[in-house]
Amino acid sequence: MDERHPNSARFHEILKELGDLHDLKQADYGRGDDPFANVRASAEWGMPAWVGAMVRLTDKVRRLQSLAQKGSLANEAAEDSFRDIAVYSCIALVLYEQEAKKLAEVESDVPF
């Protein structure tokens, strides 16, 4: 395999770091049987789990908007917000795929 461009190499390093970060955080936020249990709890508020992940992601975007406007953040590094956005996006994708699969299965069980 050709050696990756340094930018792409860093991109793939970050993807690995994000996976490791997710694994560490799921110990605090997930359950043994569901690493996304905290995000799925948005269903208790009447929204699909993937939408709940996007709400959390939007909170991180707002932090970065604040950084862009004010030039600093008080409590969390910008890099943490970028990482959280990437992780929440991946979580949202997984949850969206699961919901779409579940809907497809339900629709295939409906007799015509």
Instruction: Give 16-44 pLDDT, tens digit per residue.
Output: 999 999 988 888 887 878 999 999 999 99
- H-helix or E-strand containing 43? none
Identify the pLDDT of residue 2: 63
- How far is Cα 86 from Cα 57, in angstroms, rounded to an integer? 8
Contact status, residue 57 vs residue 92, Cβ threshold 8 Å: yes
Task: For residue 61, report the phi and psi dihedrals to the nearest 5 degrees.
Answer: -60, -40
Mind listing the pLDDT tens digit for each residue in 38-52? 999 999 999 999 999
Q: What is the pTM of this model?
A: 0.85
Residue carrying structure tokens 């949202």: 92
